[in-house]
Amino acid sequence: MTGAAPALAVRGLTKRFGGFVALDGVSLNVPEGSITGLIGPNGAGKSTLFATVAGFLAPEAGTVRLRGADVTGLPPWRLHRIGLARTFQIPRLFARMTVRENLMVAAPGQAGERLPLPWIARARIAREEAALRDRADAVLARLNLAGHAEAPATALSGGQKKLVELGRALMSGARIILLDEPAAGVNRTLLREIAATIASLNREDGITFLVIEHDLDLVAELCDPVHAMAEGRVIASGTMAEVRNDPQVAEAYLGMAIAPAE
Amino acid sequence: MDAALYAATLLTLAAIYAAFSLGLNLQWGLTGLMNFGGLAFVAAGAYTAALLTAAPSGTHVGGFGLPWWLAWPAGALAAALLALPVGAVSLRVRTDYLAIATIGIAEIVRLAVRNEDWLTGGPLGITGIPRPFEGLGQPWGQLAYLGLACAAVAGLYALAEATARSPFGRALRAVRDDEEAAKAVGKNPARLRVQAFVLGAAFMGLGGAMMAAFFKFMSPEALEPVTVTFLVWVMLIAGGSGNNRGAVLGAVAVWAVWAATDWLAAQLPGELATRAAYVRLFLIGLALQLILIARPQGLIGERIGTQR
């Protein structure tokens, strides 16, 4: 594999729902080691792009390449195993689990999930679980959630749930993480915390991010490059300053001021 | 003496129901699978074990006279083999389809048992099924069988606990709580669901084998949807769905109530006794409604965070 292959390369990706074209030949690159931004008004197809790239929806046309390897059409659990994780716009935590369990369950390749090993190899599974627990606690400490490890996932605030979503993605060991609106509905203090965490994960751990975000100041601060989408297409790519000044982007965002992002 | 025999009978049947209930808990409590056809898997286990252990007969196939300790696992295996295609086909699409598919398979199995005389003896059933420890005479034989049934349920309980508390059980709970999120954390929901469904069916099959040996006779009469499928749902929900101890407790408690109402109904004069049979069904349904309103988690519900 050449070092030049982008972490994620999307080419001509098309997704229709009946007569509605949600993705109309989307092409974009997420460079290795970047925090790439994805902006655009509601209904532009950003979340559909995430779902299609992560294997939750099957595209009608186009390809998705992960570090050069064609992964188009692979189911989400296979993509997770080879290093692509995603979060959800509205956090989807496992309600009847603790915060720690929510993280532990997200580790790939657990021997304890393969019957009959949980019945016959108890010592091995216990060791695996102890190691997983330590990893989960380390991730929780990094997200300032250590005190909530034993709490039921439902007891957390909306912003904390977003952090647990991020924590689950980190537990996968993924090198590429798709974040769907990490700052939406989060208070200012927690927003700063989330932004700092993403930046440090990128800088120190070398994790590549593709981030959907409506908070354009946050995108300007964190992301380079930035892609703007409207009506199922990528209409502009570049630095945030370039994208912001693009007349097509300004046009797509017209009306956003009276219909603010959720 | 009679009281001891009555108690032994009641507890043995409660133990058999506990096997059904533990199986349903793996499917519904842990994985969220709606199996409304428990009868089919109970029947598969019961008839398999009956045919393997019964004496040769002109009215049906088999009569192999094999020992129970071979026939019971075979009964569990037969139920699992029946569950595999049902689950593999319906769970790939949507989980609601499993509810429909299981109702269908239960009716098919019921009709097959009634009509395939060469295999099952039809309405005449299979007689002469040996019950382990019969040779000890009464009441010791019956008490020994109760001991065996309790040991089998203890084994099933241990297996169910080992499953629920394992990373496998955690993955099942993830699929139950949120399928999309489970996919996002690397789980293959269809695969996990089929495994849980087949395992739960094997529990029901073993319970069926225990039931056939206890009755010493197996006929379509023993396979009523109300008493084999529906009552098990009441037991699991009353005891505490998602909790194996709740599944066992619910089986014992609801069976005791069911048996008590049977006895009460028998005390009524002639015509009222006939009607009481229906009132009993109504009362059990009412009790389920009341539990769901007043204590939806059951007597002992699932505890968050007890699985490490």
A103 and A218 share one domain? no
**Which of 108-167 (A) contact B at CB < 8 A?**
108, 110-115, 118-119, 122, 125, 128-129, 133, 150, 152
Residue B15 has pLDDT above 90, yes or no: yes
A225 and A240 share one domain? yes
E-strand spans in A4-49?
A: 8-17, 20-30, 35-39
* A216 part of a folded domain: yes
Q: Is the N-terminal amide bond of B85 cis, ω within 30° of 0?
A: no
A142 and A174 share one domain? no
In total, chain B counts a number of residues equal to 308
- Domain locations in chain B? 2-223
Complex prediction ipTM: 0.93
Domain boundary among A119, A137, A155: A155
A173 and A63 share one domain? yes
* A262 part of a folded domain: no
Helix or strand (DSSP H, E) at A66:
strand A61-66
The answer to whether A152 and A97 are in contact (CB under 8 A) is yes
A196 and A241 share one domain? yes
The answer to whether B83 and B201 are in contact (CB under 8 A) is yes
Domain boundary among A155, A174, A195: A155
**Which of 134-193 (B) contact A at CB < 8 A?**
159, 162-163, 166-171, 173-174, 176-178, 180-188
Tell me, what CATH number does A238's domain have?
3.40.50.300
Q: Token match 């006939």: residue?
A: B274
pLDDT given at position A259 = 43
How does pLDDT run along chain A (262 residues), one tens digit per residue?
A: 445 789 999 999 999 999 999 999 999 999 999 999 999 998 999 999 999 999 999 999 999 999 999 999 999 999 999 999 999 999 999 999 999 999 999 999 999 999 999 999 999 999 999 999 999 999 999 999 999 999 999 999 999 999 999 999 999 999 999 999 998 888 889 999 999 999 999 999 999 999 999 999 999 999 999 999 999 999 999 999 999 999 999 888 865 544 444 4
pLDDT given at position B135 = 87
- The number of domains in chain A is 2
A14 and A129 share one domain? no
pLDDT given at position B142 = 92
Buried/exposed code over A60-97 (b: 16+ C-beta within 10 A; e: otherwise): eebebbbbeeebbebebbebbeebbbbbbbebbbbebb
Backbone angles phi, psi at A40, to 5 degrees: 150, 155
Residue B60 has pLDDT above 50, yes or no: yes
pLDDT given at position A2 = 47
Q: What is the DSSP string of A72-115?
A: TT--HHHHHHTTEEE--SS----TTSBHHHHHHTT-SS-GGGST
B117 and chain A: CB distance < 8 Å anywhere?
Answer: no
At a CB cut-off of 8 Å and minimum separation 6, what does B150 contact?
B11, B15
A44 and A173 share one domain? yes
* A17 part of a folded domain: yes
Q: What confidence tens digit (pLDDT) does each residue in B218-234 have?
A: 999 889 888 899 999 99
Q: What confidence tens digit (pLDDT) does each residue in B187-221 have?
A: 999 999 999 999 999 999 999 999 999 999 999 98
B84 and chain A: CB distance < 8 Å anywhere?
Answer: no
Instruction: Enter the pTM of the model.
Output: 0.93
Output the CA torsion sign for A76, A80, A82, A83: positive
A131 alpha carbon, distance to own chain's centre: 25
The answer to whether A166 and A195 are in contact (CB under 8 A) is no
Nearest to A8 by CA among A29, A38, A34: A29
In the sheet that holds A208-212, the strands lie side by side as A84-86, A176-180, A208-212, A35-39, A226-230, A233-238
CB pairs under 8 A between A and B: 108
Contact residues, chain B, for A113 at CB < 8 Å: 166-168, 171
Q: What confidence tens digit (pLDDT) does each residue in B139-187 have?
A: 899 999 999 999 999 999 999 999 999 999 999 999 999 999 999 999 9
Domain boundary among A136, A155, A174: A155
The pLDDT confidence band at residue B1, using thresholds 50, 70 and 90, is: low
* A258 part of a folded domain: no
> Is the CB of B183 less than 8 angstroms away from the CB of A76?
yes
Question: What range does the domain containing A74 cover?
Answer: 8-93+160-253
E-strand spans in chain B?
A: none
